Amino acid sequence: MANKLWEKNFEINKEIERFTVGRDRELDLYLAKYDVLGSMAHITMLETIGLLTADELKQLLAELKKIYAVCEQGKFVIEDGVEDVHSQVELMLTRKLGDIGKKIHSGRSRNDQVLLDLKLFTRHELKEIAEAVKILFDELIQKSNQYKDVLMPGYTHLQIAMPSSFGLWFGAYAEGLTDDLLFLQAAYRMTNRNPLGSAAGYGSSFPLNRSLTTKLLGFDSMDYNVVYAQMGRGKMERNVAFAMATIAGTLAKMAFDACMFNCQNFSFVKLPKECTTGSSIMPHKKNPDVFELIRAKSNKIQSLPQQVMLIMNNLPVGYFRDLQIIKEVFLPAFDELKDCLQMAAYIINKIEVNKNILDNPMYDPMFSVEEVNRLAADGMPFRDAYKKVGLDIEAGKFVPNKNIHHTHEGSIGNLCNDKIQALMNKTLDEFHFENIKEAEKQLLK
């Protein structure tokens, strides 16, 4: 039991320890790299306010860089008996450097360490999510342009409604992602503020230079009020979860469409056979499991904001151990969303579209509005034209003209994909990911 940061002159009950440490030894591994980076910034600042000598700082930074390398190799472990990542890093430093290692915690608490670690981890993951969104976006735009002239039925109430196109269908999901990314950016900007210096949630009597750690860690600015900084725990996770859920919502809807359009009764799209799965009993089956799993996993991600909210709901001001449990649902969610985005991009790239859907006369009525509009353009009052075409359809006399001509912005003949692409690029540029990359590079130099 010699490894507890808060150990005094009594031993903690084993069962209490097991229950309170919970899954931290496993989940804190997500945070290890960032705990080290945070410590590097913190001690660099401590030296400037006279709490470490230049020599002590040098030794500590060298050791922390080694620990960072261990994390990068995936070899960082939290030993049995050690509570969490913060304790493990401090233990490794004191083993190597003795008393110097014990100095790094001045002006800091595990409460703001974990806050900081979560923010550094999350902003890195949000960057990866934004990049994965862009890859899917590019696939969708490419397919939209490629099949801009291939018509398909549009539905309302799942009833054949009006002409649509693969250009519109693929492009709609691409544009959806531009909105989702805007949401993600708002979450990113809230995440990209420095909480370090809040200590246990009420600041410190040391003259901490928070502007310096903000700059060293490449944050846009800080969470100024130390009480608010601590309140960010849980709130940040909730806001980010909402942004992830928005992306997941787009994925789930697209996956459902794809499953439906892939069904033989529709036969609008098809997956190459190597991208389908078989049945153990029915030899003919080629199932779109990929889309089904994207749908289910994305739906699961859409429950994340609720899970986070229910864990932190109604907590008053200040730190509580409840917040630890958020890590269990929050930390693994990024890999799941990235996996879904990557598979979606992969499968959209492979998807084949049926270019002859409209040869089937079943879809003829969807041209009814085109005919009504033609008559109205020639001078017949719209209501009369509507009635005439309706009666023709009833009487089996309707002959569709499939040469459609839609010209307004965002319609079949004028997709505005260049505008959608410009929106996406603008939003991506506004993240300024280069700032965090540069700061991390400088710290590790």
Closest CB to ligand ARG among residues 38, 171: 38
Q: Closest distance between ligand ARG and the C-beta of residue 209, in Å?
A: 23
Q: Closest distance between ligand ARG and the C-beta of residue 319, in Å?
A: 6
Closest CB to ligand ARG among residues 14, 284: 14
Report residue 369 as tokens.
Answer: 């509005």
Interacting residue ranges for ligand ARG, rule: CB under 6 A: 24, 84, 110-111, 114, 319, 321, 323-324, 327
Report residue 348 as tokens.
Answer: 């959209």
Other C-beta atoms lying within 10 Å of the C-beta of residue 377: 10
Give the C-alpha separation, 274 to 341, whole Å. Answer: 19
Distance of CA 324 to the CA centre of its chain: 21
Closest by Cα among 199, 195, 5 to 84:
5
Closest CB to ligand ARG among residues 84, 139: 84
Among all residues, whose Cβ is closest to ligand ARG?
324
Q: Is 82 helix (H, G, I), strand (E, B) or coil?
A: coil
Closest CB to ligand ARG among residues 109, 250: 109
Q: Closest distance between ligand ARG and the C-beta of residue 30, in Å?
A: 12
Give the C-alpha separation, 278 to 141, whole Å. Answer: 30
Q: Closest distance between ligand ARG and the C-beta of residue 229, in Å?
A: 14
Give the C-alpha separation, 152 to 436, whole Å. Answer: 45
Please say whether the beta carbons of 372 and 385 come within 8 A: yes
Give the C-alpha separation, 241 to 243, whole Å. Answer: 5
Q: Closest distance between ligand ARG and the C-beta of residue 158, in Å?
A: 47
Please say whether the beta carbons of 269 and 361 come within 8 A: no
Closest CB to ligand ARG among residues 49, 200: 200
Please say whether the beta carbons of 325 and 319 come within 8 A: no
Q: Is 152 helix (H, G, I), strand (E, B) or coil?
A: strand
Q: Closest distance between ligand ARG and the C-beta of residue 198, in Å?
A: 12
Closest CB to ligand ARG among residues 24, 371: 24
